[in-house]
Amino acid sequence: MFELISNLVAAFLTLSIFSFLYKDNPFYKFAEHLLVGVSMGYAIPLAYENVFIPFVYNPIFLERRFIIIVPAIIGILYLFRFSKNLSWLARYPIVIFMGIVGMSVPMSMHSSVLVQMRSAMLPLDNINTFLIFIGTITILMYFYFSKEHKGTYGKISNVGVWFMMVGFGASFGYTVMARMSLLIGRIQFLLGDFLGLIK
């Protein structure tokens, strides 16, 4: 019974969202607003249960670890973002958070720059590494703006543009595939789980 009702609700909301493809209408608006509301309504109690209770309430009130009050107050400062006069207070937790993010800089340098550079420095013994070499050099030249892009330099940097276009094409192709997959997923639900037509 529960499965039947949940499938009915899911099918109604799916069709409501799809109705936008014909034109904007109240069913679409209803489903859209419901999604936002349900997402927030689901996340808030879950965060309360999994964050506030174990990391704020229990340590302070049950375990008497009053030092927790300090980070709790720093966290509360985020809420001053909504005050016109006191919004500057929200900068303090942001500053602390940025400091933590800074910890990732050396490791990001390693994984996103150094290792990637090393993997681009390969012996030119096959067509793939040759293409990587040409692509890397010409794209770097395209993004070097201290020299005007004309003459031989312009032609070489133009090759970089072609490499980027191929990259964007690959990204776009994957995006089309992803969007189609989402549509397929919904139609699989409507035809299979809801109507039972897919065996």
Partner 1 sequence: MNFFDRMQNLDRRWIYLVVALAIIVPLLIPFNSKTYTTEPSENVYKMIDSFAGKDNKAILMCVSHDASTIAELFPMEVSVLRHCFERDIKVFTICFMPQSAPLVDYAINTAKEDFPNIKSGVNYCNFGYKPYSLFLPILLGMGDNIGEAVETDAEGRKVENLEIMENIRNYEDLNLVMDFSASGSVISWITYARVKFGVNVAAGITAVMAADNYPYLQSGQLIGMLSGLKGAAEYEKMVDVFAAKGKAFSKETINNTWIKITGNDIPTKFKKARIGMNAQSIAHIMIIVFIILGNIGYFVNKNKKKG
Residues forming the site for partner 1 (CB under 8 A): 21-22, 39, 42-43, 46-47, 50-51, 55, 100, 104, 107-108, 110-112, 115-116, 118-119, 132, 167, 170-171, 174-178, 180-188, 191-192, 197-199
Residue 13 or 141 having the CB closest to partner 1 = 13
Q: Residue 83 CB, nearest distance to partner 1 (Å)? A: 23
Rounded Cα–Cα distance for residues 53 and 55 (Å): 6
Integer-rounded Cα radius of gyration of the chain: 27
Residue 87 or 108 having the CB closest to partner 1 = 108
Residue 87 or 112 having the CB closest to partner 1 = 112
Q: Residue 182 CB, nearest distance to partner 1 (Å)? A: 5
Distances (CA, A) of 123 to 126, 131, 133, 163: 8, 12, 9, 20
Which stretches of 48-150 are DSSP H helices? 69-76, 91-102, 104-108, 115-120, 127-142
Rounded Cα–Cα distance for residues 10 and 4 (Å): 10
Q: Residue 14 CB, nearest distance to partner 1 (Å)? A: 11
Q: Residue 73 CB, nearest distance to partner 1 (Å)? A: 16
